[in-house]
Amino acid sequence: MNKADTRDKQEMIYGTRPVIEAIKAGKEIDKVLIQKGLRSDNFTELMEILKQVDAPYQFVPQEKLYRVTRKNHQGVIAFIAPITFYNIEDVLPVVFEEGRVPFVILMDRITDVRNFGAILRTAEGAGVDAVVIPSRNSAQLNSGTVKSSAGAIFKVPICRSSNLKQTIEFLKNSGLLVISATEKSEKDFFTADLKVPVTLVLGSEDEGVSAEYLKLSDTLVRIPMMGEIESLNVSVAAGVMMFEVVRQRLS
């Protein structure tokens, strides 16, 4: 057995019934690929349980499934997450109860595994209390994420949300200042008061923070740039912003 086969066995489950049983057994699902047009005997049960546990799934052509594995997948492949996901509604009250000033990172459609892992690594070092990600359109949590995060993926609570809009509203109602990073803002990030409970919203590599979430934010900020390039890589920007929070809270 080669290394690729071992990695596949560790990270994947394939076949409709095995995937159903894995979810029932409490396995954390990162993502499920389902063949377009699939109508097997267990298809209805599969869809019901995926919706019950709010597991991300995607309908794809058969060719994509065969690019993942040539084994008898029966039209269904599930990727197992290496971590246990949390609910931000459960994490935040504990932070308040312990007398800490909440510091939350919310990632909007950050799909690059290296950026995702780098942000997690910095978040752990900056004492971030939770990282919120969307159930869909987020980087896959796999061995690459573990490596790029230097193990921080196991140390920072990662909360998956099926509705980021509702999550942002929950954070605001809980007393957190929601700050979105965008180069379109005229307000410098370093002028913001970050000693208060805060959520930093970081946007996708290509499009930045969604317009919908910019509207929901309490304030929009930018990192001042002295050169000709208008913006930083998202993981670098995240590092700058997170440690400005640290600097203000230590001063």
**Ordered domains of the chain (ranges, CATH):** 3-80 (3.30.1330.30), 88-250 (3.40.1280.10)
Q: Which of 149, 146, 150, 104 is nearest to 127 (CA)?
A: 104
Here the tokens at position 250 are 């230590």
pLDDT for residue 205: 79
Structure tokens at 234: 């998202």
Q: What angle do CA 20, 26, 32 make, to 5 degrees?
A: 45
pLDDT at residue 230, rounded to an integer: 78
User: pTM of the predicted model, to two decimals?
Assistant: 0.85
Sites in the chain below the pLDDT cut of 70 = 1-10
List Cβ<8 Å contacts ≥24 apart for 43-50: 43/16, 45/20, 46/16, 46/19, 46/20, 46/76, 49/20, 49/23, 49/24, 50/23
What is the pLDDT at residue 6?
35
Q: pLDDT by residue (tens digit) across 98-122? A: 999 999 999 999 999 999 999 999 9
Q: What is the pLDDT of residue 202?
A: 96
Q: Looking at residue 10, what is its pLDDT?
A: 42
